[in-house]
Chains A and B, each alone.
Chain A
Amino acid sequence: QAFPLPSLPRRQPTVLVVCGPAQNGAIGLVCARHLRIFDYEPTIFYPKRSPDPLYRDFTTQCEKMDIPFLSYLPTEVQLINDAYNAVVDAVLGAEAEAGEGKEPCATILATLKHVRIPIVSLDVPSGWDVEAGSSGGISPDVLVSLSAPKQCARRFLGRQHFVAGRFLPYDMQKKFELNPPEYPGTECVVALRAPR
Chain B
Amino acid sequence: SPGCRSPGVPSPLPRQEEAQAIDQELFTEYKFSVDQLMELAGLSCATAIAKAYPPSSFTTSQPAVLVVCGPGNNGGDGLVCARHLKMFGYQPTVYYPKRPSKPLFEGLTTQCQKMDIPFLSEFPAEAALIDELYGLVVDAIFGFSFKGAVREPFGSILSTLERITVPIASIDIPSGWDVEKGKADGLQPDMLISLTAPKKAAVHFAGRYHFLGGRFVPPALQEKYALNLPPYPETDCVLQLT
Contacts and interface: CB of A to CB of B under 8 A. Distances in A.
Interface of A: 1, 4, 36-38, 54, 56-57, 60-61, 64-66, 166-167, 169-171, 185-186
Contacts of A56: 31
A182 to B, nearest CB: 10
Contact of B30 (A37, A60, A169): A60
B21 interface: no
Contacts of A4: 234
Contacts of A54: 33
B240 to A, nearest CB: 13
B235 interface: yes
Interface of B: 29-33, 46-47, 50-51, 87-88, 111, 114-116, 215-216, 218-220, 234-235
A186 B44 CA distance: 10
B45 to A, nearest CB: 11
B87 A57 contact: no
Nearest to A61: B30
A164 to B, nearest CB: 13
A166 B216 contact: no
Contact of B31 (A38, A57, A171): A57
A119 B110 CA distance: 38
A167 B31 contact: no
A37 B215 contact: yes
For the complex of A and B, 6 pairs with smallest distance between CB atoms:
A57-B31, A60-B31, A65-B218, A186-B47, A64-B30, A186-B50
A174 B204 CA distance: 47
A36 B217 CA distance: 11
Nearest to B39: A167
B47, B51, B216, B235 pick with most chain A CB within 10 angstroms: B235
Nearest to A38: B235
A173 to B, nearest CB: 11
Contacts of A167: 87
A46 B114 CA distance: 36
B32 A61 contact: yes
A171 B114 contact: yes
B31 A169 contact: no
Contacts of A57: 31-33
B50 A185 contact: yes
A170 B31 CA distance: 32
B31 A186 contact: no
A27 to B, nearest CB: 13
A36 B30 CA distance: 15
17 contacts: A1-B235, A36-B218, A37-B216, A37-B218, A54-B33, A60-B31, A61-B31, A64-B29, A64-B30, A64-B31, A64-B218, A166-B87, A169-B111, A170-B115, A170-B116, A171-B114, A186-B50
